[in-house]
Structure 1
């Protein structure tokens, strides 16, 4: 058994968390992860109204009786977001785990904590993790440079960032960025983390609401097939290398402004692409773990395989090394 502070505090069987991914972390995927023993998470802002989020939470509850959480990311957007209304839905629906990301969630912490909600805040640096601890977060999910999406601007890999965070913090650390198999889980635990958060690896599963063309592209991709865009905007994003990402980077290198880039950065492009399977016309957040993705299993098969591999490493390989 893999008993950690993550499994104990969150009431789950395995220390494996499915991160919040825009458009992808739906009730179907989250419930499948929770049913398989991990923690599934629904992304709140994939739904353009709090009422739609409420319906999605109800759907997840019809699919699982296990714990699951909701991701709420605080980022500047062209469309103002009523975060309080989304939080009210989370509270009203009895959700007890929230994954926050982006800006500091401090303005909402009293409301969350007074309603008995466990807060996991995603960070990309030790200084931000310390701030999360100070404002009362229960866990920090620390994103190494390998991660999909926003790795921050410090460019510190998981191998260094995770133990640095563990050394500095009193609250438990969840390892994020570069994890997708049993080897990574064991490594994260060895570095002092209490579990792993996985995004890209869960995209390549049967239950992920993503066109098969994109899943096939992930299988074909190597660890060198990601790239960084939006660095000129100090909003760095790691994405799958494709024609669209190359165009964005070329425009950045030529001094394009945010106004010029904005139409190419729209998340609605990604939503259309995951529906149609067009792999070249949008930005797809993608971590370097893509180099270790070789199949598209069910969520249960994936989690079972990760746990089995981790236990074999701990009970056989490492035991033999030290015998």
Structure 2
């Protein structure tokens, strides 16, 4: 992650990558189904407005710093567990998954991913908090997953414009470096 333009593509190729992922860049396009108010929150984010946190579900992830994230970061495991349990029940209702299936999946996750009981209890947080912001359009009660490049992005082009821009910039960068512009 952390890529949003042709310069990043060229840098990754120079390190031996076969391609790059640009999740945040494509999230911020006209075709993206993310609600417009959420896109505007991303566009307003600066380079220092993200945080890498374990507080959502026990796994490291980068998000835009919000009040929800600050509260999760400051909360003790005792105060996180009831919220995580409530999110697990909401997740169950949303997906139609039985309690037995949730428990079976949870135990498998604990075994295979070496999770603590606290991490396992928090695992339902990520999908529910992500859905609240990214699908339901309520970033004030959800989380905004992002790449480090969010502060570099200030527009909502079409997907075709993003691709054309990345290719054009990669060609210019390669030419400037003395490489073949046909490489990407």
Q: Structure 2 length as normaliser, TM-score?
A: 0.68
SS at match of 2:141: coil
CA contact (8 A) 1:231 1:237 kept: no
Residue 222 (1) aligns with residue 46 (2): yes
Match of 1:306 in 2: 166
2-side partners of 1:288 and 1:232: how far apart? 18
CA contact (8 A) 1:186 1:314 kept: yes
1-side partners of 2:57 and 2:43: how far apart? 30
CA shift at 1:286, angstroms? 0.9
The structure in which a higher percent of residues are helix is 2
2-side partners of 1:256 and 1:285: how far apart? 24
Match of 2:31 in 1: 207
Match of 1:187 in 2: 11
Match of 1:238 in 2: 62
SS at match of 1:197: coil
Q: 2:127 aligns with which of 267, 274, 279?
A: 267
Match of 1:68 in 2: none
CA shift at 1:181, angstroms? 0.5
CA shift at 1:234, angstroms? 4.1
| CA spacing shift, 1:244–1:232, aligned 2, 3 Å | closer
Give the number of aligned pairs: 141
| CA spacing shift, 1:277–1:258, aligned 2, 3 Å | closer
Match of 1:319 in 2: 178
Tell me: higher relative CO, structure 1 or 2? Use CA pairs within 8 A at least 6 residues apart: 2
1-side partners of 2:149 and 2:55: how far apart? 21
CA shift at 1:246, angstroms? 1.0
SS at match of 1:273: helix
Deviations 1:297-319 (A, max 9, x none): 1101001000000001111x212
**Unaligned residue ranges in structure 1 (runs of 5+):** 1-176
The structure in which a higher percent of residues are strand is 1
SS at match of 1:215: helix
Q: Structure 1 length as normaliser, TM-score?
A: 0.40
**Unaligned residue ranges in structure 2 (runs of 5+):** 88-124, 180-184
1-side partners of 2:78 and 2:61: how far apart? 16
2-side partners of 1:187 and 1:201: how far apart? 17
CA shift at 1:257, angstroms? 6.4
The two structures, once aligned, show a CA RMSD in angstroms of: 2.3
2-side partners of 1:309 and 1:260: how far apart? 49
Match of 2:138 in 1: 278
2-side partners of 1:274 and 1:318: how far apart? 39
Match of 1:292 in 2: 152
2-side partners of 1:269 and 1:233: how far apart? 10
